[in-house]
Structure 1
Amino acid sequence: MKSWLRLHRYALMVTLRRLAAQPFSSLANLLVMALALALPLLGAAILVSAQPVARQLSVTPEVTVYLATTAPAGTADAIAQRIRDDHAAQVQAVRVVPRDEALAQLRNDPTWDQALAVLPNNPLPDAVVATLTEGEHLAQRAGQLAETWQKWEHVDLVQLDSDWVQRLEAILRFARVGLIFLAACVAAVVLAAVFNTVRMQAMLQREEIAVARLVGATESFVRRPFLYLGALSGVLAALIAIAAAAAALTPLNNALLGLARSYGADFSLRLPGLPILAVAIVGTGILGALAARWSVTRSTRF
Structure 2
Amino acid sequence: MNTWLRHHLYAIHIAARRLLGTPFSSLTNIIVIALVLTLPLLASAMLVSMQPIARNISVNPAISLFMKEATTIEQTRAVASQLKNEHSQSILTLEVVDKADALQSLKASESWSDALKVLPQNPLPHSIIITLSDEASPTEKAEELAEVWSKLPDVDVLQFDSAWVQKLEAILSFIRIVLGLLAAGVALIVITTIFNTVRMQALVQRDEIAVARLVGATESFVRRPFLYFGAITGLTAGLLAVVLTTITLGFLNQAITLLSNSYGIPFSVTLPSASWLALTIALVMLIAATAARWSVTRHSHF
Q: Deviations over 1:93-134 (max 9, x none)?
A: 323263995698389455x899x69x9999975362413254
Structure 1 residue runs without a partner (length 5+)? none
Structure 2 equivalent of residue 190 of structure 1: 190
2:80 alignment partner, one of 63, 79, 83? 83
| Partner residue, 1:2 | 2
SS in 2 for 1:92: strand
Query: CA shift at 1:33, angstroms?
Result: 0.7
Deviation at 1:230, TM superposition (A): 0.8
- What residue number does 1:93 align with? 94
Partner of 1:235: 235
Residue by residue, what CA displacement relative to the aligned partner does 1:52-106 show, whole Å, maximum 9, x if unpaired?
2212323543212245xxx433357634530232224225232326399569838
Q: Is the 8 A contact 1:64 1:161 kept in 2?
A: no
Q: Does 1:41 align with 2:41?
A: yes
Secondary structure of residue in 2 paired with 1:132: strand
Q: Which amino acid aligns with 1:267?
A: F
Amino-acid identity (%): 44
* Residue 261 of structure 2: aligned partner: 261
Query: What does residue 131 of structure 1 align with?
Result: 130
**SS of the counterpart of 1:130?**
strand
SS of equivalent residue, structure 1 residue 58? coil
AA aligned opposite 2:21: A
Greater mean alpha carbon deviation, residues 223-232 or residues 129-138: 129-138
For residues 255 and 275 of structure 2, the distance between their equivalents in structure 1, rounded to whole angstroms, comes to 28
Residue of structure 2 in register with 1:159 after alignment: 159
Q: Distance in 1 between matches of 2:121 and 2:236?
A: 69
Secondary structure at the residue paired with 2:268?
Answer: coil
Q: Name the SS of the counterpart of 2:135 in structure 1.
A: coil
Corresponding residue of 1:105: 106
Aligned residue pair count: 296
Find the aligned partners of 2:282 and 2:37 in 1 and give their Cα distance: 13
1:214-241 Cα offsets, whole Å, 9 max, x none, are 3333222221111111111111111111
Alpha carbons of structure 1 residues 120 and 146: separation in structure 2 relative to 1, 3 Å: same
The Cα offsets for residues 19-53 of structure 1, whole Å up to 9 and x where unpaired, read as: 11111111110111111111111111111111122
Distance 1:176 1:102 in 2: 45
CA distances 1:225-259 after superposition (whole Å, capped 9, x unpaired): 11111111111111111111111111111111123
**Which range is displaced more, 100-109 or 51-60?**
100-109
Partner-residue secondary structure (3-state), 1:136: helix
Tell me: CA distance 1:178–1:235, structure 2 relative to 1, closer, same or farther (3 Å): same
1:2-81 map, 5 Å: 2-67=2-67, 71-74=68-71, 78-81=75-78
